Chains A and B, each alone.
Chain A
Amino acid sequence: MSSTAIEIQSKRGVWGGGNEPLKASYGKLMMWFFLLSDIFTFTAFLITYGAIRVSYPAYGGEAADFVSSNEYWPIPEMIFDAVPFVHGGHFPLVFVGLMTFILILSSVTMVLAVEAGHRNDKKDVVKWMLWTLLGGITFLSCQAWEWTHFIHGTDEGAMLTYVNSLGNVVSETVYGANLIVNEYGPAPFAQLFFFITGFHGFHVTIGVFLLFLAFYQAAVGVYENRGHYEMIEKIGLYWHFVDLVWVFVFTFFYLI
């Protein structure tokens, strides 16, 4: 046995090294800072939506008499009023409300999975991850339907005068939406719809892949052998963030 004593300097500050000042693992910290950068990306999109919206006239009349035109910004509840299996019905915001509920519930099952992970309870982790995965896939399917309906449009369409892709001014009935013209409102309305809900949907898609990975690894016992379920926690952070963004998209795109 060596007789040399190494004296450890006890007067070291929190940031002096040799400890974890933030009491979180590297992976979790990096997930948080990635999410912070993603918060900036999404808020920039939503603020852009607001800025472009106020640069167009608002619809002045009663909501009930709303007719869509590319002259003014539409009222979202009169645009997003379709539900699957009911052709031509008017159910304002019902479907998107349902989507919000699904995503919030899948966030809840995610917290339950994280909580089970803290308890090393493999059976519960697998169960709740499966529910979360199901919620994520359901949400994506709803969004696919929503996009399809948005692109194809209503039976009536809207009579619009606009500049087409060849640079000619045309007056015709427009059905649905693309990046040049849409029957709902000014062109940026559809562009922002595709961009913002599309970017969110892209995040959900990545989230579903990650959820599947976590579900699979938990089920085959990877985390059990590793000795901790931190991966569930990190993927959980990402998944809650996706829910958080949707809460804002719901307010700024569909309610206001």
Chain B
Amino acid sequence: MAQENKSGLEVIPRDSAKIKKIWMTALILLVVTAVEFLLAFTMERGMFLYIIFIVLTIVKAKYIMMEFMHLGDEVKPLFYSIIVPLIFLIWLIIALFKEGSDIFLMRW
């Protein structure tokens, strides 16, 4: 598909394999969301269900960051400088949930 343009940028034709991969990722994301939606109404609420939800959410996050944001295609130092700082969040989760449950014990 030739296109007229002033700057002489060459238009590279579509690579259907790449585009198919994008739509496949989209399908995975939508199916995982649909599964979460179904589980919310078919399973009993409780810690087990919450863990399933969190795992599925992290799966979705992985697909968005790796396939859509192309973080996987960046060089390793960049990849790790984005991923490694997230370790701090583990402590934040532990600290605040401990805090929250202690407030619960004091208040009720």
Q: Using a CB–CB distance below 8 Å, which chain A residues touch chain B? A: 21-24, 29, 32, 35-36, 39-40, 43-44, 47-48, 50-57, 63, 75, 77, 92-93, 97, 100-101, 104-105, 107-108, 110-112, 115, 118-124, 221, 224-225, 227, 236-237, 240-241, 243-244, 247-248, 250-251, 255-256
Contacts and interface: CB of A to CB of B under 8 A. Distances in A.
Interface string B25-42: 110011001001100110
Contacts of A104: 26, 29-30, 33
A2 to B, nearest CB: 34
Contacts of B54: 251
Contact of A50 (B69, B82, B85, B97): B97
Contact of B45 (A75, A123, A243): A75
A122 B85 contact: no
Interface in B11-50: 11-15, 18-19, 22-23, 25-26, 29-30, 33, 36-37, 40-41, 45, 50
B30 A22 contact: no
B7 A225 contact: yes
Contacts of B74: 22-24
A31 to B, nearest CB: 10
Contacts of B50: 256
B60 A247 contact: yes
B77 A120 contact: no
A29 B36 contact: no
Contact of B3 (A121, A240, A244): A121
Contacts of B82: 32, 35-36
* Residue from the set A93, A118, A224 with the largest chain B CB neighbour count within 10 Å: A224
Contact of A255 (B1, B18, B53, B96): B53
Nearest to A48: B96
A244 B85 contact: no
A246 B101 CA distance: 26
Contacts of B25: 108, 111
A247 B57 contact: yes
Contact of B13 (A107, A119, A225): A119
